[in-house]
Amino acid sequence: MIYQSTRNNDLKASSAQAILDGMAGDGGLYSPASLDDAALDWKALLPLDTQGMAVKILSALLPSFSEAEMAALVRRAYAGKFETDELTPTVTVGEDTVLELFRGPTSAFKDVALSMLPVLMTAAREKCGVSDEILILTATSGDTGKAAMEGFRNVPGTRIMVFYPYGGVSPVQQAQMATQDGDNVCVCSVRGNFDDAQTGVKRIFAAVAREKLLAGKGVRLSSANSINIGRLAPQVVYYFRAYANLVQSGRIALGDPVDYVVPTGNFGDILAGYFARELGLPVGRLVCASNANNILTDFLTTGVYDRNRPFYRTVSPSMDILVSSNLERLLFLLSKDAQLVARLMDSLGKTGAYSVPASLKKQLDSLFYAGSCDDEGTKRAIGQVWQQYGYLMDTHTAVAYDVAQQYKAACPGHGPVVILSTASPYKFPAAVLEALGEDPGEDEFKAMERLQDRTGVPMPKNLRNLRERPVRHRDVIEPGEMLSYVLEKAAGKER
């Protein structure tokens, strides 16, 4: 499988090079040139354990690595890191299946991919014969930053810098990042929202490429955001895991389509579902669930993407995003037209909006359903599911749960539904406590304890004693200062 820029057919790369670079040099994202011939013998994957599935799927999507090489990388990435060997277990909640993606080292679904990315990155560096140190730049709405630092912490040949919106993440997320240890990590908050941080990072990539700002410095940039294809590929695996579990438990027959409901921000997680479908898995509808920042709901309903709208801070902050980067990959894969994508993205940059051709809109309609849920609905869903089923959801999962119920009501012919659960409720304890009818109080750390006392659901180990850990990162900068901040830190290596 060859990769290319979503904006230029002539800009091609091997999968190893695409991982190493993070982003194509023209501002586009690396995407498989086509997924038409990607189908696997998907039925043969279902009896495998999760790591076995990962080996097959990842070596198909990232053919720079042989199956034997991938097997070693997968083992190194996941051994002993997750609560269960299954990595991503499923739980039955009422008539739905919840796919728990948060059983990793930082209690967010991003651990699945960010455990894998560092080993892929170092292997890609070797494959491409690169001796430069790799400086990972990451914008985070809260979860990516922590999971990425945990993954890259003390990985030789790499350094990582994380930018998060000042005041825009939960106190638990903030504490997780500010207390991060490791010799090669740096965390900085930016006075702006997630889009400002993400745009800032994209601009740094463009400026460094254009003006060769790091030439001869022994450092090169890469990304741990889902703009990196090495982030996306590992997420395809759990779609297969959930499907296999449904077959093995007898809830579906082999070949029955299953609908997946995905709480969506940057469109990476749900795009992995599209990849799973193209690899042959019987994926029915992909249901895109948004919070009050429902730009994707509007886009999938109307075909018009328009970011000229208010930005809301919600109780599901990891989805507070107005520019969903991975949508660009979907537009490219569906249209097979890099020129069209370049035009749309140019329009997005200049006017904040674009509109897709009718043929593309039709394709979107057949693949996706979209819905949104505000903070009130989110809390209502958490309270109801706890009362009815004794299952405790985090705020992002609750958005998906609510949209799943909307979807089932709107589409009576739906298949069995898998709801992707993307974070532990203990990452957002105040909102979850409130949803259970309790006063959340002022202190999120006390709220974590109270949530555990109230529900008896055990707090993940990595979130205990967060408050006692020493704060190691305190920098706050303006979005306009990001480039100079990075260049100073990069230069620091030479001193």
Ligand X SMILES: *Cc1c(COP(=O)(O)O)cnc(C)c1O
Interaction between residue 428 and ligand X (CB under 6 A): no
Interaction between residue 178 and ligand X (CB under 6 A): no
Closest approach of ligand X to the CB of residue 466, in Å: 17
Round to whole Å and give the CA distance between 312 and 165.
13
Complex with ligand X: residue 56 or 110, whichever CB lies closer: 110
Contacting residue, 100, 196, 269, 278, with ligand X by CB under 6 A? 269
Determine the interface stretch with ligand X among 9-17, 148-156, 164-172, 267-275 (rule: CB under 6 A). Answer: 267-275
Round to whole Å and give the CA distance between 186 and 286.
36
Complex with ligand X: residue 220 or 379, whichever CB lies closer: 379
Strand partners, 304: 355
Tokens of 376: 């009130």
Determine the interface stretch with ligand X among 178-186, 262-270, 449-457, 479-487 (rule: CB under 6 A). Answer: 262-270
Contacting residue, 7, 56, 103, 110, with ligand X by CB under 6 A? 110
What is the 8-class DSSP label of residue 423? B
3-state secondary structure of 52: helix
Closest approach of ligand X to the CB of residue 75, in Å: 25
Tokens of 484: 């100079």
Complex with ligand X: residue 3 or 109, whichever CB lies closer: 109
List of residues 6+ apart from 270 with CB closer than 8 A: 260, 262, 264, 286, 288
Complex with ligand X: residue 151 or 263, whichever CB lies closer: 263
Provide the mask over 39-78, with x wherever binding to ligand X is found by CB under 6 A and - wherever it is not: ----------------------------------------
Round to whole Å and give the CA distance between 308 and 42.
42
Q: Which residues from 380-409 bind ligand X, rule CB under 6 A?
A: 396
Look up residue 330 and give its amino acid: L
Complex with ligand X: residue 145 or 440, whichever CB lies closer: 145
Any idea which residue has 């105040």 for tokens?
Answer: 430
H helices of 91-170, in order, are 110-127, 143-152
Closest approach of ligand X to the CB of residue 143, in Å: 3
3-state secondary structure of 221: strand
Q: Length of the chain, please? A: 495
Contacting residue, 42, 267, 275, 332, with ligand X by CB under 6 A? 267
Q: What is the DSSP string of 279-327?
A: TT--EEEEEEEE-S--HHHHHHHHSEEE--S-----S-GGG--S--TTH
Round to whole Å and give the CA distance between 126 and 143.
28
Interaction between residue 423 and ligand X (CB under 6 A): yes
97 to 230, 244, 252: CA distances (angstroms): 27, 12, 12
Please give the positions annotated as active site. 110
Tokens of 421: 């659960």
26-36 burial, b for 16+ CB within 10 Å, e for fewer? ebbbbbbbebe
Interaction between residue 422 and ligand X (CB under 6 A): yes
Provide the mask over 127-156, with x wherever binding to ligand X is found by CB under 6 A and - wherever it is not: ----------------x-------------
Closest approach of ligand X to the CB of residue 43, in Å: 27
| Residue among 89, 91, 120 nearest 102 (CA) | 89
Complex with ligand X: residue 268 or 479, whichever CB lies closer: 268
Contacting residue, 29, 108, 330, 486, with ligand X by CB under 6 A? 108
Contacting residue, 171, 263, 425, 429, with ligand X by CB under 6 A? 263
Interaction between residue 460 and ligand X (CB under 6 A): no
Neighbouring C-beta atoms of residue 117, cutoff 10 Å = 30
Interaction between residue 265 and ligand X (CB under 6 A): yes
Closest approach of ligand X to the CB of residue 463, in Å: 14
Closest approach of ligand X to the CB of residue 271, in Å: 8
Interaction between residue 322 and ligand X (CB under 6 A): no
What is the 8-class DSSP label of residue 480? G
Any idea which residue has 């660009």 for tokens?
Answer: 328
Q: Which residues from 225-244 bind ligand X, rule CB under 6 A?
A: 226
Complex with ligand X: residue 56 or 396, whichever CB lies closer: 396
Contact 179, 471 (CB under 8 A): yes
Torsion of CA 81, 84, 88, 92, to 10 degrees: -150
Interaction between residue 414 and ligand X (CB under 6 A): no
Interaction between residue 276 and ligand X (CB under 6 A): no
Interaction between residue 444 and ligand X (CB under 6 A): no
Interaction between residue 198 and ligand X (CB under 6 A): no
Interaction between residue 319 and ligand X (CB under 6 A): yes
Closest approach of ligand X to the CB of residue 395, in Å: 8
Tokens of 294: 């429902």
Complex with ligand X: residue 71 or 419, whichever CB lies closer: 419
Contact 339, 4 (CB under 8 A): no
Interaction between residue 104 and ligand X (CB under 6 A): no
Complex with ligand X: residue 219 or 375, whichever CB lies closer: 375
Any idea which residue has 């909006």 for tokens?
Answer: 353
* Interacting residues with ligand X (CB under 6 A): 108-110, 143, 226, 263-269, 318-319, 396, 422-423
